[in-house]
Amino acid sequence: MPGGMGNSLRAAALLAFVVLSILVSLLISSVQQFGARISHFSNATLAGDDDGGDFASLRGALIHQLNQRRKEIIPLLLPDDDDDGDDDDENRLPGESRHYFQLDQDPDSTLDNSLWSEITHGSRRAHMDEMGCDSLVDMQAVEVLGSGYTKLVVKVRLAGGQPVALKLVNEQGIDMGKCVEDFKDPRGCRELVSYKLKKEIVLLQRLQHPNVIKLKGHCAGDSGGGEGGEGRVTVILEQGNPLQMIQLLQSPWEDRFRVCLDLVRLLHFLSQSPLGSVALLDFQPRQFVTVSGSLKLTDLDDASAEETSCQTDADCTLQFPHRNFTLPCSARGVCEGLSEKRNIYNAYRYFFTYLLPHQAPPGLTHLVDHIMNSTGELRADINQTLEAFEHILLLYKSGLHLDNLPPSIIRDYTVMRGMGTSGNVEYRCWPSYSQQGCVLSVHSAREAALICNSHSQCSSFTLTGQKTWTGRLLASFRSSFAHLVPDGTSEVYVKKTTAPETSTV
Ligand SMILES: Nc1ncnc2c1ncn2[C@@H]1O[C@H](COP(=O)(O)OP(=O)(O)O)[C@@H](O)[C@H]1O
Ligand SMILES: *[C@@H]1O[C@H](CO)[C@@H](O)[C@H](O)[C@H]1NC(C)=O
Ligand SMILES: *[C@@H]1O[C@H](CO)[C@@H](O)[C@H](O)[C@H]1NC(C)=O
Ligand SMILES: *[C@@H]1O[C@H](CO)[C@@H](O)[C@H](O)[C@H]1NC(C)=O
Ligand SMILES: *[C@@H]1O[C@H](CO)[C@@H](O)[C@H](O)[C@H]1NC(C)=O
Ligand SMILES: [Mg+2]
């Protein structure tokens, strides 16, 4: 990181520390509330209230909501015996999709109830390699990573030193605020909002993919409580960096392409996931983070595997602010590919339009334009879109898009292998991998020579031996340098016509 820490930055850090301290105490108290407690929605509590009908009806409405949320999760759980698919079909009601077959039955008798009770009570480890409440003992809070309508995300360092992200109910969030306003019951509301975390846990377990944030475990805050439980949940996740669109817009095309490619790989997976075709209903850059440069979905509570039933095509419309689409209603009465198309168009409008066309390599612009048009018009399905992206990646990695580079171009340069430079006079270019100078990725010395020829200040470049995620080489371009120094990993190319006097140290 360039630059020192300014005073204002120090003040901000201090403020953050104070906020964190408060947060940590909240966190720890929430994690510690493990006393076996009867759910406060038990009949006893209700009967004991003499507050009159209004209050009771508010409670009734809240309990109704709680049951609704629970019902939403049940179809996402694994059936106990998935080796016997025929049973599922027999249980399915006509017109119901595969995943909604057991709504009216007791979920615990037929579904993976170990998972359910694990989420509800935190009593057992249903899945191997999962962290539980004990992993959070002696953790240290580091910083707040982000917050949304529903959740607060904090970076903590576990006792062993490993950094992780913890997701909790956002007490200051819109979800909690609205609920408390409606039902005047903070505890009940915390339980209600916790269902979104529970849903997310189930979805993270069922939808594992390189472009979905990794679930490391969770800690559920009641042991052996009643139905529904006290409901406090802490989700333990791999730590990422919130996606910064502004920063990405200033990044090299290669990094922006990577984000779009990752997104398309994710959408391809979601279109035929173990839960069926999944739509992301709240599709925004803020629902994603990056981990070592690769994109990962982190907010899944608005993911839906529900199919839309229809009678005519007119029932299958997708509405966006500037475009409407109508999709076919299939013979079995569901909108064909609605979730997939919805995801593709959102990827187009929130990601591709900003990240993809701008500064695309000249040899690839026609392919990029084609992707822009076919996704923006919803003419391509996700398979075709993924194919188009992988094709671009292949060309870009192999340098095949550069086929018209004359071999002679490199003859204008003197090459010195095993050398680096010092006393450099840098110039800046955009978008550069380095703030100070001009560092760009190239396929070969030949491509670097072409770039150097096109920059009036450039008189030499160095291939550093460092590589980008695609395997392309990082080249550093400069106007001059004072000395050559031995450096086994790099090569210096100096323009013959303007080659300055150099001396070797
Ligand atoms: N694993 C993570 N690592 C780093 N930041 C994260 C992680 N998960 C979420 N965040 C940040 O926290 C914010 C809120 O999380 P999110 O699950 O989207 O909550 P909400 O449902 O309230 O929108 C996200 O916008 C993101 O910036
Ligand atoms: C709560 O009351 C309902 C009827 O009012 C009853 O059916 C149910 O069994 C009671 N539950 C408990 C846990 O007592
Ligand atoms: C999309 O459809 C809605 C509802 O039919 C309509 O109000 C809106 O004007 C349409 N938008 C566009 C861009 O066609
Ligand atoms: C796709 O291309 C057609 C024809 O060139 C054009 O009219 C249309 O506006 C383009 N659509 C998008 C979303 O770029
Ligand atoms: C998309 O590709 C998958 C395999 O990756 C295949 O199972 C599926 O049928 C394809 N869908 C279409 C519409 O071609
Ligand atoms: Mg979010």
Is 322 a pocket residue for ligand 3 (Cβ < 6 Å)? yes
Predicted TM-score (pTM) above 0.85: no
Any atom of ligand 5 within 6 Å of the Cβ of 383: yes
Task: Please count the CA atoms within 13 angstroms of the CA of 295 that sit on its side-chain side.
Answer: 25
Q: What is the DSSP letter of 8?
A: H
- Reduced to 3 states (helix: H, G, I; strand: E, B; else coil), residue 153 is strand
| Residue 282 annotated to the active site | yes
Strand-pair partners of 226: none
pLDDT at 101 over 90: no
Q: Which structural domains are found in the chain, ordered by start? A: 33-77+112-239 (3.30.200.20), 245-402 (1.10.510.10), 407-504 (3.50.4.10)
Q: Residue 384 Cα, ligand 5 centroid: separation in angstroms?
A: 9
Tell me the C-alpha distance between 83 and 119, whole Å.
24
**Cβ of residue 349 lying under 6 Å from some atom of ligand 4:** no
Our CA angle for 339, 342, 347, nearest 5°, is 125
Ligand 3 center to 315 CA (angstroms) = 14
The pocket of ion ligand 6, defined by CB under 5 A, consists of: 148, 287, 299
Q: Which ligand is nearest to the CA of 296?
A: 1
How many other CB atoms are found less than 10 A from the CB of residue 389?
22
372 lines ligand 4 (CB under 6 A): yes
Other Cβ atoms less than 10 A from the Cβ of 120: the count is 23
Closest ligand to Cα 267: 5
CA atoms of 287 and 147, how far apart (whole Å): 10
Q: How is residue 144 written in tokens?
A: 């707040």
Beta bridge partners of 439: 476
Q: How far apart, in Å, are the Cα atoms of 423 and each of 31, 54, 144, 452, 503?
A: 56, 79, 41, 19, 11
Average pLDDT, the chain: 83
Query: Does ligand 5 lie within 6 Å of residue 88's CB atom?
Result: no
Q: Are 211 and 280 in contact (CB under 8 A)?
A: no
Structure tokens at 173: 């969030």
Q: How far apart are CA 274 and CA 362, in angstroms?
A: 39
Give the closest residue (by CA) to ligand 5 atom 1. Answer: 383
Q: How much is the pLDDT for 121?
A: 52
Please tell me the residue having the least CA distance from ligand 2 atom 7: 43
**What tokens appear for 424 in the block?**
């450099």
Atom of ligand 4 nearest to the CA of 376: 13
Strand ranges inside 224-273, DSSP E: 233-237, 241-242
d(CA 164, CA 217) in angstroms, rounded, equals: 10
Bridging pattern class, strands 413-422 and 163-169: unpaired
Looking at per-residue confidence, does 283 or 23 come out higher?
283
Cα–Cα distance, 77 to 372 (Å, whole number): 37
Stretch (H or E) spanning 361: none
| Res 57: pLDDT | 87
**Cβ proximity of 198 and 73 under 8 Å:** yes
Handedness of CA 45, 47, 48, 51 (dihedral sign): positive
Q: For the residues 363-383, what does the mean pLDDT come to?
A: 97
Cα–Cα dist 78/295, whole Å: 27
Closest to 344 in 3D by CA, of 297, 289, 248, 279:
279
What is the three-class DSSP state of 235? strand
Report the nearest atom of ligand 5 relative to the CA of 381: 13
440-481 pLDDT, tens digit each: 999 999 999 999 999 999 999 999 999 999 999 999 999 999
Give me ligand 2 centre to Cα 89, in Å.
Answer: 33
Pocket of ligand 3 contains residue 324 by CB under 6 Å:
yes
What tokens does 41 get? 């929605």
Within 10 A of 226 (CB to CB), how many other CB atoms are there? 16
Please report the atom of ligand 1 found closest to the CA of residue 282: 23
Q: Residue 153 CA: which ligand 1 atom is closest?
A: 12
Select which of 282, 313, 381, 412 is catalytic.
282
Residue 401: pLDDT band with limits 50, 70, 90: confident
φ/ψ of 387, rounded to 5, equals -60, -45
Residue 127's pLDDT is: 53
Which one of 377, 378, 379, 385 would you pick to mutate in the ligand 4 pocket, going by the greatest count of ligand atoms within 8 A of its CB?
377
3 state SS of 5: coil
Ligand nearest to the CA of 336: 5
Ligand 1 atom 20 nearest Cα:
148
Distance CA 177, CA 390 (A): 44
Shortest-distance Cα residue to atom 12 of ligand 2: 43
Task: Give the angle subtended at the CA of 213 by the CAs of 255 and 233, to the nearest 5°.
Answer: 145
CB of 373 closer than 6 angstroms to any ligand 5 atom = no
CA of 384 to the centre of ligand 1 (A): 30
Q: How far is ligand 6, taken at its centre, from the CA of residue 235, in Å?
A: 14
- Each residue of 422-431: pLDDT tens digit? 999 999 998 9
252 CA → ligand 6 middle, Å: 26
- Which tokens in the block code for residue 92? 């399915």
Cα end-to-end span (Å), the chain: 29
182-199 per-position pLDDT tens digit: 999 999 999 999 999 999
CB 278 within 8 A of CB 304: yes
Nearest CA to ligand 3 atom 8: 324
Q: What is the pLDDT of residues 196-247, one digit of tens each?
A: 999 999 999 999 999 999 999 999 865 443 333 456 799 999 999 999 999 9
Residues paired with residue 504 on neighbouring β-strands, in sequence order: 484
Residues 415, 417: Cα–Cα separation, whole Å: 6
Assess whether pLDDT exceeds 70 at residue 359: yes
Residue showing tokens 């013959």: 496
Residue nearest to atom 8 of ligand 2 (CA): 43
pLDDT(10) > 80? no
